[in-house]
Amino acid sequence: MKKIAVLLSGCGVFDGSEIHEAVLTLLALAKAGASYQCFAPDIDQLHVINHAAGAVAQAETRNVLVESARIARGDIKATTELDLSEFDGLVIPGGFGAAKNLCDFAVNGAAAQVAPLVAEFIGQFIAAKKVVGFICISPVMMPLLYGAGVKGTIGTDADTAAAFNAMGGDHQAAQVDEVIVDAEHNVVSTPAYMLAGNIVEVHNGIEKLVTKVLERA
């Protein structure tokens, strides 16, 4: 049985992991007969969003690992607990947490940097040439992690694609149910809620991504 690590960035589309994307990733892995383990960095969120009001909750602070545990039903590990030998690959759901907590793209755009604990975690998979799947906005980290020329997609948003290219990536336009495979770097990406109009479209794209990840694992 193949085992895949899933990197979460909190809990909630506007300040953490996109919950639909995260849960559909876990479901697709389980349906395909793979096992998984959720991970998250033990760091503070950039900020907390009141999802009912759509506003920053100024007085609140939350921890990315603690919040991610909500999605993982408590079965979560800090990124520093990774034993790479146990895993065949990695999948990273999107949500603003990927662009606010895993890296700072939401604040700094093409001048973004990946959070140190996150770079160390994903870097282990890259160094071992193990497959990594990036969903939604999380592919913006790819040029920072893999270097110039890496191929990936965030869908069709012109500004985000331009930033991806400015960071050294080779952006590939893709529709919501498509995946982009960079065989040289062993990386897969799909747009999900960067383009999706509903949860069914997200499911279709993520299922294809998970299939490709497991094929390459």
Catalytic residue positions, numbered = 136
Q: Which residues contact 140 (CB under 8 A, 6 or more apart)?
A: 98, 99, 103, 105, 112, 154, 160, 163, 164, 167
Q: List all residues 6 or more positions away from 65 whose beta carbon is below 8 Å from its beta carbon.
A: 40, 41, 42, 43, 76, 78
How buried is residue 159: exposed, middle or buried, by Cβ count under 10 Å (0-12/13-18/19+)? exposed
Q: Please tell me whether residue 3 adopts helix, strand or coil conformation.
A: strand
